[in-house]
Structure 1
Amino acid sequence: MKYATGEETKKKIIDSAFQLLADKGYDAMSIDEIMKGAGKTKGSFYVHFKNKEDLLYEVIQNRLDRNFDHIVEETLKKLSDETCDVQLVLKGLMRLVHVGTGGVDRELWTAAYYQMVVLSRKNQVVREWMLKQYHAWVDFMSKIILRGQELGQIRTDIEVRVMVNMLISLLEGYELRSMVDPEINVYEQLKLTELLCMNDDL
């Protein structure tokens, strides 16, 4: 019971920090504000974290990775089917990203991610995490594109690397723009995906 209570407290602290990260940015949020949002005393903070930076790394691992490993596992299962429709796999992946994963609201995730981009300019650990994320997504989406080419469902006249970078840029660009333009239809990119990647006869 004590362990469960401790884990619940830790989750509340992470949730509070994630919200403040999105709303104010890392530098502007204080431990006092984090604990107030969590409904816990400041002393509880040091039971679970050494300092604010230690908490930030927990936020990265628990709120910003979008359940990436699970997404990869489920997607690769679909791709292993000889009858799979790679266009539908790509569209499903993009929808999954935009509706939010891991129980994280998309708008909240986007705001927090933007703050991480800003922070990466001066924080080496954050910059390395972001580069690792980009490389992981490039590798993952390259597998999707290559599988589509293998099945004759994706055009081969554009380099895989170029197509993947276009898709990732579309995902990121629409998300960031949605922060200031809530009327934008993030699903417009599904049509662009067809135009960029799929054979004309599909």
Structure 2
Amino acid sequence: MAKSRRLRQLISRLNFLEANILPAERINGNYTKKEQDLIRSYVLLCHAEIEAYIEDKAKDRISKALADWVSTRKRSSCLKSVLAYTGNEIDFSRDQNAINNIEHRIQRTVGHYLNAVVDRNHGVKEKNIISMLLPLGIEYNELDQTWLGIMESFGATRGNIAHNTTQVQNQIDRNTELTRIKNQILPELERIDELIRKLK
């Protein structure tokens, strides 16, 4: 399966974070306070990279579909899907340009998706993922339900780290987080990368 340039960038960045932030594995699992902070930092930074990857893929795909339509009037299921999902969220009644100009209407709808959905996204939980991917034309049943549960848990872990002091946080296991990111999250992102690439 061919990986997009953006996915290769994500993988490279996650490998860099693993090599440069995660402390060495301790067989007994007892990490110092500094090492625990490094593990927390690893989770936060990986979360940010994964979130940015999903947002960038959504932006790139719909922007390409819009550019193709504007330049050649090439129709795409991706563009139709965004229009179907977000078109009803916009009040066109006072927009005179939208009444007589389909290109203006399409540009405004895509702009709404980019600004109100993608740019305002904050997280990688199920609701965040489906709000960005379903409007592109990916079907809900194409998303692995186990993976969505893993992303829900990953998002909750990130939230706990980001919004609580260390006094109220449980110790984070280095290997559990590394395994979750490398072996549970990343392989499904590779499949989603391919789903987005195949959107017409």
Q: Which TM-score applies when normalising by structure 2? A: 0.29
Ranked by relative contact order (alpha carbons within 8 Å, sequence separation 6 or more), the top structure is 2
